[in-house]
Amino acid sequence: MTTEVKIHEDAKSRLEELQAEIRLQTGRNVTQQELVTRLIDEAYESRSDVINSFRDSSVPLSEDEKEAMRRDRFRSGVETDESDIDDGLDG
């Protein structure tokens, strides 16, 4: 079964560049389908790395960053309970 996948021009260009480099270094012609299949197989084997690459930040905050967040907090002096939050959300 063949399925068409649309990719951006810059990704297509990098795929072609990688394909050409494989040909130059190995003397073997590989199709883009073979190359994409290999890339998917390798990504599947290291899926946690791939998943983490989509996180906003995979690096935890440093102690200095945590302290800066604590330092910049303030209290308004007003007690807030769930009903206040619900009222605010219901708007």
Per-residue tens of pLDDT for the chain, all 91 residues: 778 889 999 999 999 999 999 999 999 999 999 999 999 999 999 998 898 888 776 567 778 877 877 776 766 677 777 787 777 777 6
CA distance 34 to 40: 10
Q: Containing domain of residue 17, as a range? A: 9-73
Residues 6+ apart with CB under 8 A from 58: 52
Are 30 and 19 in contact, with CB atoms under 8 Å apart?
yes
Q: Is residue 82 part of a domain?
A: no
The answer to whether residue 48 sits within a structural domain is: yes
In a domain, 2, yes or no: no
Residue 90 located in a structural domain: no
**Residue 15 amino acid letter:** L
Q: Is the overall model pTM greater than 0.95, yes or no?
A: no
Whether 17 is covered by a domain: the verdict is yes
